[in-house]
Amino acid sequence: MSDPLSGAFFAALASTSWAAGACFARVGMQQVGSRTGTFISLAAGFVIISVVAWSMDSQALFAVTRSSILWFALLGLIQFPGGRFLNYTGIRLAGVARTTSISGTSPLFAALLAILFLGEQVTSSIVLGTLAVAAGLALVMSQRGAFPLTQSQEVQPSGTRRVAIGLLCAVAGAAAYGTGHAIARHVVTRAAPAPVTATYTLFFGMLFLLVISVPHLKRDLRAPRWALIMMILAGVCSSFGIFLMYTALARAPVMLASPIVATYPLIAMTFTHIFLQRLERVTLRMFLGAILVVVGITFVVLGQA
């Protein structure tokens, strides 16, 4: 299997893994706060991925340079207190379907950064893709009634504000992930192999999250055991997604891997429809919006080729 083809395969696996992680997080964060939930997920993911990295190449795990450590710390800061925490907050407040549709726009942010800071040209493909993404997000975010509410929860302003905050967190998380993709491509091709990069970025992300979650740890760890287990499973799935994405970026260019990873909102919606109907509903409008987002991202990224 050629490198680009294997990179596409790993990107597809990463997309599926992230979608599963989002669904587990949606269940767990009914009882666990975003900060503590993200820390638990990172701790669980770090343990699993470090074992995988050790079994693959134990020498490479300890043969990193000081400059590589700085890259790992930067990537860990952007992707975890930035990307994953904001993404999990969006899932808790706005649900899986809406949040993943917005989070799936991370390649769009990466393309926009390339245009602004790397001097890449705007093409008709990029314009069409941007319009498709905007239309898709408008469909997803305009959908009402995506969550089964109790009678006491209906038409409460606080519920509307929660969703709005969740959507803003999803946008910020997508921007963080998009920035992280560009940095990760540099790191895994020039600084360290994908398993090593995944291990260290998870480690630094865990440290950063520990600092901001300490005030909430004692309270949140009293949550029901099933909720903590859900966050552990979310962390394992999401961290394998990171590992697989880094592996894809080490084998294939961003232009190939990003559109494939961008399909994860559709997979997340499928999982949500099958397993989480009690918590939220996936409507036709939301599904069509997610398809438009994926198509738009594909046009934008291909327009950079």
As a whole number of angstroms, the distance between CA 106 and CA 104 comes to: 5
Average pLDDT of span 111-123: 65
With 70 as the cut, is the pLDDT of residue 144 above it? no
Whether residue 133 is predicted with pLDDT greater than 50 in this model: the reply is: yes
User: Is pLDDT at 304 greater than 70 in this prediction?
Assistant: no
Q: How many domains does the chain have?
A: 1
Range of the domain at 30: 3-302
Lowest-confidence segment of 15-29, 39-53, 148-162, 172-186 by average pLDDT: 148-162
Residues 276/27, Cβ–Cβ less than 8 Å: yes
Digit-coded pLDDT (tens) for 267-282 = 887 787 778 766 666 6
140, pLDDT greater than 70: no
Q: Convert the pLDDT of each residue in 40-82 to its tens digit.
A: 999 999 999 999 999 998 888 988 888 999 999 999 999 888 8
- Please name which of 268, 194, 265 lies closest in space to residue 20, comparing C-alpha atoms: 268
The answer to whether the beta carbons of residues 68 and 77 sit under 8 Å apart is: no
Q: How many other C-beta atoms are found inside a 10 Å radius of the C-beta of residue 94?
A: 26
What is the percentage of the chain residues whose pLDDT exceeds 90?
Answer: 26
Q: What is the mean pLDDT of residues 7-31?
A: 89
Most confident of 26-40, 116-130, 246-260: 26-40
Do 277 and 57 meet the contact criterion of CB atoms below 8 Å apart? no
**pLDDT for residue 146 is more than 60:** no
Q: Which of 43-52, 110-119, 291-300 has the highest mean pLDDT?
A: 43-52
How far apart are the two ends of the chain, measured CA to CA in Å? Answer: 23
Average pLDDT score over residue span 117-132: 69
pTM (2 d.p.): 0.77
Give the pLDDT confidence score for residue 207 in this predicted structure: 93
Residue 163, pLDDT > 80, answer: yes
User: Is 187's pLDDT higher than 70?
Assistant: yes
> What are the angstrom distances between the C-alpha of 138 and each of 45, 98, 301?
34, 11, 20
At residue 189, does pLDDT exceed 60? yes
Is residue 148 scored above 80 in pLDDT?
Answer: no
Give pLDDT, residue 284: 78
Distance CA 293, CA 266 (A): 10
Mean pLDDT of 145-174: 65
